[in-house]
Amino acid sequence: MPNDSDQNISLLRSELDGLLRYLHRVRTEIASIDRPADEEHDFNSMGDQLDAIVEATETATNTIMEAVEKNDDIVTKIRKKVKDPEVNGWLDEINNNSGDVFEACSFQDITGQRVNKVVKSVTYVEERVNALIDVMGRDVIESIEVLPESEKTEDEKLLDGPQLEGKGLSQDDIDSLFD
């Protein structure tokens, strides 16, 4: 019959075994953050991706606002040539619509602010993960095999989404595929 000491040793071994398995799982999770099997989930590029969203949104918004300003200039020129009150009423509607477009474009500033908050959070988490990697030892983390969570379909393997500036194929490269 086992005594209390044997039961305590058995319990301690069980707890240590559970703790070691948990630590191994934590190391594997940290390794998968540091070196994801699927580049689509690369944690380190998330901030860059979000910055690219802000930049693309800002560029699109500026293009929209410049086009509306050009239309307003044309409306002003037309107004000088037209004396018909009905046509001038339509021109007033165009100017009102332009104001609505400018107002709607203010979303870009709000979006940029919110995305920048997310970037700060992602950066904070990234710094903490890198601190954990330093504590555990980069060589230990790099020695852990990281497996993809699921296999991609053939179509998914072909998709690479929008690329960051200077990455991926250029428009010339794509055009040459059709020559």
Please state, rounded to an integer, the average pLDDT across all residues of the chain: 80
With contact defined as beta carbons under 8 Å apart, do 41 and 49 qualify? no
Which percentage of the chain shows pLDDT scores above 90? 24
For residue 168, tell me if it sits in a domain. Answer: no
Total number of domains constituting the chain: 1
Q: Which domain holds residue 25?
A: 4-149
Q: pLDDT tens for residues 111-141?
A: 888 888 888 888 888 888 888 878 878 887 7
For residue 158, tell me if it sits in a domain. Answer: no
For residue 71, tell me if it sits in a domain. Answer: yes
For residue 177, tell me if it sits in a domain. Answer: no
Q: How many angstroms separate the CA atoms of 126 and 132, rounded?
A: 10
Q: How many angstroms separate the CA atoms of 50 and 135, rounded?
A: 28
For residue 139, tell me if it sits in a domain. Answer: yes
For residue 156, tell me if it sits in a domain. Answer: no
Q: pLDDT tens for residues 140-151?
A: 777 877 776 666
Question: What does the radius of gyration of the chain's CA atoms come to, in whole angstroms?
Answer: 29
For residue 100, tell me if it sits in a domain. Answer: yes
For residue 34, tell me if it sits in a domain. Answer: yes
- For residue 174, the one-letter residue type is I
Mean pLDDT of 156-175: 66
Torsion of CA 150, 158, 119, 171, to 10 degrees: 170
